[in-house]
């Protein structure tokens, strides 16, 4: 596969000098783009789009054809794993993801197979095809959900705001909870390693629901498993390159120091964290990624530009052991105008070089 022509993103994650702050957006291939909506209509539904190698490649590349982004991210979904484990993923119109067979007992957990990589072959095929299509233009990010986040969907049966079922399991039967998380950690480790073997040049672990846990529960039921996964990843490649790992916990501010010590190369921050304070606490140990509120993209372009400048100034001047990847604090929302996303990216390109002199 082709050598990287733009390695700014990888270098920043490894805290190496760069000429400008690299930028990409979580959910950058998505419903805010009219070309994405057209391709999704062609696929028939979201899951069919994920499982069609050619169309998944097409939508992965769409934002890069529009914007000067510094990375591509595989188009897929974190719930491909529980789907492969037999829970029957489907997407109800207007309701988000649901499972036909959610976990409701310890027996259900005991019966879960961890030998599911063959059912996820379509993801690895997409990684390989995307890498070939990128031809080294920018790096490709692979990703997964954290065991805790995947478990919440598997036990709740879909999206939730209350987390009653998963927390009942955690508190009433922690042995079963750990069994589920252990199985998911095995699958996630194998899955990320398969993505790396297929060509992913960085990987991100999305712990979307870690922030709903108590302090002690987060460390035991979420971060401990993220740490186990990272310890099992093949980040040092035979060709001498390193595949950086980003750990992103939404609502993870209370555990910033702990997350920075989990073995990751970079900590993803949501918008509730002060970037400058995070840098002062852990910025000499890990790179930081983030952390603009996605809803600022709904504001006038002048507001977007001022927020980019404020965050760049908050992180401040880059030195020998610092690294920052500009991103949103969560995924871009479907109601954002593409022109506003373009203004955000252009502002990072325009104003960040000053901090790398």
Which class for 231: exposed (0-12), middle (13-18), buried (19 or more C-beta within 10 A)? exposed
- The size of the chain, in residues, is 357
Active-site annotation holds for 101: no
Instruction: Of 78, 216, 72, give the one whose Cα is nearest residue 131.
Output: 72
| 1 alpha-carbon distance from chain centroid | 24
- Name the catalytic one among 37, 66, 77, 108: 77
- How many other CB atoms are found less than 10 A from the CB of residue 26? 21
Helix (H) or strand (E) run with residue 125 in it: helix 121-134
CA distance 344 to 270: 17
Active-site annotation holds for 31: yes
- Name the catalytic one among 40, 70, 83, 191: 40
CA distance 109 to 125: 29
Active-site annotation holds for 225: no
Active-site annotation holds for 66: no
Determine how β-strand 72-73 pairs with β-strand 89-92.
Answer: unpaired
Q: Where are the beta strands (DSSP E) in 209-295?
A: 245-249, 266-268, 287-292
- Name the catalytic one among 31, 66, 101, 121: 31
- Name the catalytic one among 32, 36, 153, 315: 153
Which class for 353: exposed (0-12), middle (13-18), buried (19 or more C-beta within 10 A)? middle
Contacts of 102 (CB under 8 A, 6+ apart): 87, 154, 155, 156, 157, 158
Active-site annotation holds for 27: yes
Give the residue numbers annotated as catalytic, written as ranges: 27, 31, 40, 77, 153
């Amino acid at each position: 596969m082709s050598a990287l022509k733009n390695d700014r993103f990888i270098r920043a994650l490894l805290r190496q000098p760069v000429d400008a702050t690299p930028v990409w957006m979580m959910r950058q291939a998505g419903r805010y783009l009219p070309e994405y909506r057209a391709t999704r209509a062609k696929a028939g539904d979201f899951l069919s789009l994920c499982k069609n190698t050619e169309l998944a490649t097409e939508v992965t590349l769409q934002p890069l054809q529009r914007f000067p982004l510094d990375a591509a991210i595989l188009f897929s979904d974190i719930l491909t794993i529980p789907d492969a484990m037999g829970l029957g993923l489907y997407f109800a119109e207007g309701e988000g993801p649901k499972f036909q067979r959610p976990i409701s007992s310890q027996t259900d957990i005991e019966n879960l197979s961890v030998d599911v990589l063959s059912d996820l072959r379509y993801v690895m095929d997409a990684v390989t095809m995307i890498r070939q299509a990128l031809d080294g233009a920018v790096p490709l990010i692979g990703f997964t959900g954290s065991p805790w986040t995947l478990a919440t969907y598997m036990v709740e049966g879909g999206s939730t705001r209350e987390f009653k079922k998963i927390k009942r399991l955690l508190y009433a039967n922690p042995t079963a909870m750990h069994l589920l998380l252990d199985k998911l950690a095995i699958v996630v480790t194998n899955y990320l390693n398969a993505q790396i073997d297929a060509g992913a040049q960085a990987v991100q672990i999305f712990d979307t629901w870690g922030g709903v846990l108590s302090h002690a529960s987060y460390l035991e039921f979420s971060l401990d498993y993220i740490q186990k996964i990272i310890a099992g990843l093949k980040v040092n490649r035979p060709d001498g390159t390193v595949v950086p790992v980003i750990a992103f916990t939404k609502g993870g501010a209370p555990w910033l120091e702990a997350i920075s010590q989990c073995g990751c190369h970079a900590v993803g921050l949501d918008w509730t964290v002060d970037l400058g304070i995070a840098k002062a606490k852990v910025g000499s140990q890990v790179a930081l990624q983030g952390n603009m509120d996605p809803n600022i993209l709904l504001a006038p372009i002048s507001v977007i530009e001022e927020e980019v400048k404020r965050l760049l100034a908050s992180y401040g001047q880059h030195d020998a052991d610092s690294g920052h990847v500009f991103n949103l604090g969560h995924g871009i929302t479907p109601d954002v105008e593409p022109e506003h996303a373009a203004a955000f990216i252009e502002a990072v390109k325009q104003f960040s070089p000053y901090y790398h002199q």
